[in-house]
Amino acid sequence: MNTFSVSRLALALAFGVTLTACSSTPPDQRPSDQTAPGTSSRPILSAKEAQNFDAQHYFASLTPGAAAWNPSPITLPAQPDFVVGPAGTQGVTHTTIQAAVDAAIIKRTNKRQYIAVMPGEYQGTVYVPAAPGGITLYGTGEKPIDVKIGLSLDGGMSPADWRHDVNPRGKYMPGKPAWYMYDSCQSKRSDSIGVLCSAVFWSQNNGLQLQNLTIENTLGDSVDAGNHPAVALRTDGDQVQINNVNILGRQNTFFVTNSGVQNRLETNRQPRTLVTNSYIEGDVDIVSGRGAVVFDNTEFRVVNSRTQQEAYVFCTGYAVQHLLRFPRRKQPFQCFR
């Protein structure tokens, strides 16, 4: 499997993708110490120009006069509200993540709800609806891979096949909190469900926090090199924080949108997301959608295994061609800077 690792970049996505300087990186991975204006092959921003590329700029509110979002680190309680794990285990309140999410939403409280997930593999989708209060979902293992949420979904699959895979045994039913999300996809009259409905984990929750777990669309290399949207994580809510999370897939791995409860894009708001200390993997449009996202101390890996062809990474400035060394062979790598 050929890979290209883009380590610890701070990336901002604001109705497009812009790579910016990073903040918490080891000394050997820090940006060049050149001073502005740099060189033609490595242009450097001046201090004044760089002011437009910090987190506060991207996290500004669209509401005139409102303060920018200034997120604090995720903190966990001594006792969570819900615990997901094997049946019969002490302290476990639910055996599936979706059931715990439903229970948290049904409380209809504006107080943050904490859901702890014990180590294990959790097969199936997770939908987190819009709610008055934020949801914090976190793994209790030693590392993110200890808690794995996964399913194989392809944006090109038919609505009938999608219903079969996503809703076994009536997981989503009328009257349940996430029914409206499921229904917006299962009622499609098109031949395929499309990218927006291919997500394994989909949240419309403002204030969502995810920590210490893995989310994967396991479609992987089971398909050809054609167009196969397969979202691992989709977030529509504002002020979302993701810390120490593995987000794994191939095409459209991480999708941020400004969609409303009707699953349609809204032009009057811009969701803001902070991703820290995480790992994101894919091969095409790894991060996409509409929103403002800042990545800090996060590793991106281009997994070029479906096509065995060249890889492309977009940064700032001029187009420069590099030769990328993969294990056992060389692959051309294009960086648009």
For residue 9, give its domain range: 3-25+45-58+80-336
Q: Which of 54, 161, 165, 285 is catalytic?
A: 285
- Is residue 98 in a domain? yes
Cβ-proximal residues to 285 (8 Å cutoff; 6+ apart), any chain: 251, 252
Asked if residue 159 belongs to a domain, the reply is: yes
The domain total for the chain is: 1
Q: Give the pLDDT confidence score for residue 45 in this predicted structure.
A: 82
CATH of the domain at 240: 2.160.20.10
Pairing of strands 135-139, 209-217: parallel
Q: Which residue has the tokens 């030693």?
A: 142
Residue 325 lies in a domain: yes
In a domain, 37, yes or no: no
What pLDDT is attached to residue 266? Answer: 86
Output the pLDDT for position 323. 35
Burial 17-31 (b: 16+ CB within 10 A, else e): bebbebeebeeeeee
Q: Tell me 304's DSSP state.
A: -
285 annotated active-site: yes
Q: Which of 159, 296, 286 is nearest to 231 (CA)?
A: 286
Q: Where are the alpha helices (DSSP H) in the chain?
A: 47-50, 55-58, 97-106, 159-166, 179-186
In a domain, 214, yes or no: yes
Contact indicator for 302, 313 with CB cutoff of 8 Å: yes
What is the reported pTM? 0.84
Residue 169 in any domain: the answer is: yes
Per residue of the chain (337 residues), what is the pLDDT tens digit?
555 454 444 444 433 443 333 456 666 566 667 788 888 877 888 888 888 888 888 999 988 889 999 999 999 999 999 999 999 999 999 999 999 999 999 999 999 999 999 999 999 999 999 999 999 999 999 999 999 999 999 999 999 999 999 998 899 999 999 999 999 999 999 999 999 999 999 999 999 999 999 999 999 877 776 778 899 999 999 999 999 999 999 999 999 999 988 888 888 889 999 999 999 999 888 999 999 999 999 999 988 777 666 666 665 433 333 333 333 333 444 444 3
Please give the pLDDT value at position 40. Answer: 83
Query: Is the residue at 244 inside a domain?
Result: yes
* Tokens linked to 288: 């996409």
Question: Does the residue 124 lie in any domain?
Answer: yes
Confidence (pLDDT) at 228: 80
Decide if 275 contacts 296 (C-beta within 8 A): yes
pLDDT at 31: 60
